[in-house]
Amino acid sequence: MSGTSAALQPPADAEKPVRHPDAPAPGELLGAHYEQCFGCGGGQSHGLHLAARAGEGVTVTAAFTVQPAHQGAPGLAHGGVLATALDETLGSLNWLLRTIAVTGRLETDFVRPVPVGTVLYLEAEVTAVSRRKIYSTATGRIGGPDGPVAVRADALFIEVAVEHFVHHGREEEIKAAMNDPDQVRRTRAFEVNP
């Protein structure tokens, strides 16, 4: 059984997403947006180290390998970790829009168990935009990029100002990210349009 709640149905006047002219070219790896991100950062030893790649339009593909540290039941990926992989992949779409946004709602279907050692192949796309609301959908497949769907999600991201992070984030990490001498890293920590 699967389904999407009314909150994730775009309104009738929603618009098609527009790929930013400076978005990475299709096929280009997006790279980690923040070294300490649990989803994609290299600085998190038990993180997902998820690698996302720009696709055509406002789409991305991504992959991550389920590690022993990601278990819930013996030998199987924790559902929250799989939801994180979906969330991270969906979040990376906003880099193609060059919109700073956070997840407001994430609805996940867990279709098949995912064993440790499995590569989860993800694909995601923005389906509609309505003012600050970005509607998107993702699937995660196992056994190959065309293998059976193991997880899927629909999401609503909400555009925020960079102040969202400055106001709510812990001061020491915000200061460190803001004071990073590397301008690209500083920019991407919050996915701010450079």
| Closer to ligand CO8 by Cβ: residue 33 or 152 | 33
21-24 long-range contacts, CB within 8 A, separation 24+: 22/98, 23/54, 23/95, 23/96, 23/97, 23/98, 24/54, 24/95, 24/96
| Closer to ligand CO8 by Cβ: residue 6 or 73 | 6
Helices (H), the chain: 79-97, 163-168, 171-178, 183-189
Tokens of 56: 């055509």
E strand map for 35-112? 51-54, 59-65, 101-110
**Least separation in angstroms between CB 8 and ligand CO8:** 7
Binding site for ligand CO8 (CB under 6 A): 7, 33, 87-88, 91, 102-105, 131-133, 156, 158, 160, 190-191
**Least separation in angstroms between CB 21 and ligand CO8:** 21
Residues in a beta bridge with 7: none
CA distance 98 to 78: 31
| Closer to ligand CO8 by Cβ: residue 51 or 116 | 51
**Least separation in angstroms between CB 159 and ligand CO8:** 8
| Closer to ligand CO8 by Cβ: residue 20 or 105 | 105
**Least separation in angstroms between CB 182 and ligand CO8:** 16
| Residue in the structure block whose two tokens are 């909400």 | 158
| Closer to ligand CO8 by Cβ: residue 42 or 117 | 42
**Least separation in angstroms between CB 15 and ligand CO8:** 14
